[in-house]
Amino acid sequence: MRPGRLLAAATGALRLDAAIALRHLLLNVVAGSALVPRPVRWALYRAAGLDVRTMNVFSGTRITGTDLRVGRGTFVNHECYLDVARGRVEIGEDCHLAPQVMVLTATHERDASGGAGRASQYRTTVIADRVWLGARATVLPGVRVGEGCVVAAGAVVAADCEPGGVYGGVPARRLREADARP
């Protein structure tokens, strides 16, 4: 690689890394601290450009970017991971995310040899209204979890979930209808 191109690539990488570091410092170290009250955390998220409409985001939640919407009445428990580095996460109203839930947007296509391709692909992952994601559930990139679904603890949601169902397993599958009780 020519010296001019190498310098340009290094400068671009430094800018990207600096932006990631600053975003991490604000969203995860400062706002994510257990010492920061929820209303202050909410204000920091809003100031950073996140569309977070609830103050119920608890400490330790890690957010990797800014293309995030969290609806009113939603509860995000401790240590959730919301991967919005270059993808988008939409979480509806009145949802419950138990501790350590992961919502992902980044993936890789397969290359010609069947391995993971080098280029990242970013998708929008959607959690509709009134969804309950159990502890350590993982929602994979591009998946839509339909309204009123319950996803069992530890489930890996690899495909869309139709509304009103209880899903569990690895990969998650529909187990039954969600209970209609409030």
Q: Residues with catalytic annotation?
A: 108
Residue 124's contacts (CB-CB under 8 Å, 6 or more residues apart) are 87, 88, 89, 90, 105, 142
3-state secondary structure of 106: strand
Alpha-carbon gap, residue 132 to 79, rounded angstroms? 16
User: Tokens for 151?
Assistant: 């996803």
Q: If we measure between CA atoms, which residue out of 45, 40, 161, 43 comes closest to residue 95?
A: 161
Q: How far apart are CA 111 and CA 70, in angstroms?
A: 34
Q: Which of 173, 153, 177, 152 is nearest to 163 (CA)?
A: 177
**CA–CA dist 14, 16 (Å, integer):** 5
Distances (CA, A) of 117 to 24, 43, 107, 111, 140: 27, 39, 9, 5, 17
